[in-house]
A and B are shown apart, each in its own frame.
Chain A
Amino acid sequence: NAGVTQTPKFRILKIGQSMTLQCTQDMNHNYMYWYRQDPGMGLKLIYYSVGAGITDKGEVPNGYNVSRSTTEDFPLRLELAAPSQTSVYFCASSFIPGARGNTIYFGEGSWLTVV
């Protein structure tokens, strides 16, 4: 039972490069999320999706793009990487928030450094 799988786990990018963080879940969850966590801070929502073909901005979407072509996959694209995007990124998935028995599952995190 894989749960939520994120790749890569670690990556160093140069300023101005682009990359995609991959996220896959095998629980048939309709909701998926991307968060970032800076040192000493809580998680901040970047983008989320309530189902295939539907995405919406969170609190800190600038510099990122997402797509949700399938239920399982929710990649996060960084265009023109900047040092401010140095962070730990977490992908998560769940059924409907607030629904009885709902649990949210997180990936193990992706450590990204932009130099």
Chain B
Amino acid sequence: DQQVKQNSPSLSVQEGRISILNCDYTNSMFDYFLWYKKYPAEGPTFLISISSIKDKNEDGRFTVFLNKSAKHLSLHIVPSQPGDSAVYFCDKRQLTFGSGTQLTVLP
């Protein structure tokens, strides 16, 4: 039973536009979600987290939204920059990762 799913393996956006990365989850009443960025041949880097008592958390260009009724969270990156090109993972409680979305930001 995959508790965290990222259904889009890849996403391309133009530099300066918004990138929206999505994640669906199951089996959670109260929980804690995290987003990471990963470059090739490096360990993941933590970006931002959200507790299920909140709907939104912001940190600079990164905002995570949590829709508890739909069991869906999304990461918004505004404005997108070429250096944001990486694989993005969502994760529940540092225990269950999605399969990742490759974001490519085109100059």
Residues of A within 8 A of B (CB): 4, 31, 33, 35, 40-45, 48, 58-59, 90, 92, 94, 97-98, 102-109
Contact = CB atoms under 8 A, between A and B. Distances in A.
Given A41-B99, A42-B100, A97-B32, A92 B94 contact: yes
Interface size, B (range): 20 to 34
B42 A59 contact: no
B94 A109 contact: no
B93 to A, nearest CB: 5
Contact of B51 (A4, A58, A92, A98): A98
Contacts of B45: 106
B100 A48 contact: no
Contacts of A33: 94
Interface string B40-66: 011111100101000000000000000
9 contacts: A35-B97, A42-B6, A45-B95, A92-B43, A94-B94, A98-B32, A98-B49, A104-B94, A106-B43
A74 to B, nearest CB: 14
